[in-house]
Amino acid sequence: MIIVDNPGRDSWEDLCLRNDSDAPDITEIVAGILADVISNGDEALIRLTHKFDGVTLASLSVPTAGATVPPELEEAILVASRNITAFHRAQKESVVEIETSPGIQCWRKSVGIERVGLYVPGGSAPLFSTVLMLGIPAQLAGCSEIVLFTPPQKDGSVHPAILFAANQAGITEVVPVGGAQAIAAMAYGTETIQPVDKIFGPGNQWVNEAKKLVSADSVAIDLPAGPTEVALLIDDTANLEFVAADMLAQAEHDTVSNVFVVAVGEVNERELTSRVADQLASLPRADIAQKVVERARIVKVSSVGDGIDLVNMYAAEHLIIQMHHAEVIAERIVHAGSVFIGTWTPESLGDYASGTNHTLPTNGSARAFSGVSLDSFVRKITFQRASQAGLQGLGPHVSVMARAEELVGHARAVELRLGADPADLSRTGFVRRTTNETDISVLIDLDGSGRANCETGLGFFDHMLDQIARHSGMDLSVRCDGDLEVDEHHTIEDTAIALGEAFAKAIGNKKGIGRYGFTSPMDDALAQVALDLSGRSWLVWDVELKRERVGDVPTEMFSHFFKSFCDGAKANINISARGENEHHIVESIFKGFARALGMAIAPTGNPDILPSTKGSL
């Protein structure tokens, strides 16, 4: 190891340089591989796999079903899968609608990238943990297509641990191809493989060079990647046996891996060197780790501040802190891919099962790049919606700015609208509601023509929402992506709340409306629905339903739907119904509710009168 004692700051930049002397210039060779796959497709993949891996592939597709691993490994993978899922699921962002100016609503929505390609190193050391690290967030983000590439074993198969992990991550498309040719297939496609929108995953120098080249050709990649690395920030409280183990854990990856130790104060570097040598002697991959250890740096500094500044300059992929009050020091780290705090937090935890992602920026790119996360698998789209009044308020400012930039067409697009004959302000309400169980959008136009476009995943529920639109005369659009794999409850409840909130937005100050609604027979059934847009939430439900379900909706959810609507709309509804056919009973209730709504929202002829003796609703 190379020991540097209290170097001046003017030499820090050189100390932070990574060693790449073992990495030849392979750009021209990799570019040729990419061109070969572009020209020859599947045939090139099969030929190059035989050339580089010594394997003759019978197929470019491997089924994941039925893969098994030893029980203790299965349990470990399931535990890791649970933790990775929990950590990445918590990264989901709710859609937040902001009124930036009166009448101007803006929001941002995360949308999963449709098709992503995952590269997982295989061969003698199959990195099945990477399958979980990439596949799980891809699934959580809503990526509709996920293809996994990994090098084949000598018999042409894929390691069972990779297939088992793929099953856990919900991946069904596995291609037994590795190296630069795999990146080419993902980027450009072949006869049997569709190109992807973004490529993820670590790899050797050939894979990383291929990712760099295709990224310059408009194919997205996760992040810049180079040899793996670890930095350790230690003081005299550090357990040197643990420090040595952490150094070797990264050194055993590859001969071009990097190990960088910053020692604050009185750290016994000779003892650390001895501990490394003792552990290295029994390491199965000692021949690899030895080459890394020989050029590993131990940099001694005199103050905690210098130690923190130096590791921030290094911007490590992995940073381990074994110091007194490590948690406080960790708060001052601003450049690192992932930080491991304290004596009992080896970097191996993050590599496998703590839950954080192990696909991280290397070679100092942590100054600007983050590791892979749920965000890596989504696109963030912004939306905006202006009312007529909103445009009247903000539009003149936009016109001034556009003309100042001499973009008259921009200004005219606003000015034509500002100069148009004023239209009656539409009575519309739009609500986005996003929770861990549902993602819902509802749009109501009280002055529509009874048109409905409702998709909740529940056929009968959609039919009832259609009845509300058809028989009230308002237009209604509902989209709900809910956890129907759990049950119907969240979808129906949250849709009703959002529907009520959108309705409340649409009726606004309630001036000029009837406020009350009454009614509805249907064959053998008779429903009576009395409704008051009172501003107070209350439901009276006098209906007895004996069937467990009507269509695909549990009957207990109908009362819950109307209660949730009351809460969202701040309305008072009294419902009673009788009959022999429960389908007819439920449908008559929704029709009666719709007719009551239609009566309540109907204009009375005087838009300035509030239908209340209290003076407010």
Let me know: does 168 contact 81? Beta carbons within 8 Å: yes
Query: If DSSP states are collapsed to H, E and C, what string results for 431-480?
Result: EEEECCCEEEEEEEECCCCCCEEEECCCHHHHHHHHHHHHHHCCEEEEEE
> Of 524, 528, 581, whose CA–CA distance to 550 is shortest?
581
From edge to edge, which strands make up the β-sheet containing 145-149? 173-175, 145-149, 115-119, 198-200, 220-221
Q: In a 10 Å sphere around its CB, with 0-12 CB exposed, 13-18 middle and 19+ buried, how is residue 207 labelled? A: buried
88, 159, 253, 318: which one is catalytic?
318
Query: CA-CA distance, 230 to 249, in Å (whole number)?
Result: 9
Let me know: does 232 contact 390? Beta carbons within 8 Å: no
> Of 542, 539, 509, whose CA–CA distance to 528 is shortest?
542
> Of 138, 143, 146, 139, whose CA–CA distance to 193 is shortest?
146
The answer to whether residue 471 is catalytic is: no
Query: CA-CA distance, 63 to 19, in Å (whole number)?
Result: 40
The answer to whether residue 318 is catalytic is: yes
Query: CA-CA distance, 157 to 314, in Å (whole number)?
Result: 40
Those residues whose C-beta lies under 8 Å from the C-beta of residue 236, and which sit 6 or more positions away, are: 265, 266, 267
Q: Are strands 378-386 and 438-445 parallel, antiparallel or unpaired?
A: unpaired
The rounded Cα 432 to chain-centroid distance in angstroms is 18
**Backbone φ and ψ of 7, nearest 5°:** -70, 150
Q: State the virtual CA torsion across 539, 545, 551, 552 in degrees, nearest 10.
A: 60
Query: CA-CA distance, 124 to 589, in Å (whole number)?
Result: 66
209, 229, 252, 317: which one is catalytic?
317
Phi-psi map region of 86: left, alpha, beta (phi>0 left; psi -120 to 50 alpha):
alpha
Let me know: does 497 contact 567? Beta carbons within 8 Å: yes
Q: Which residue type does 338 have?
A: S
Task: Show which residues are catalytic.
Answer: 317-318
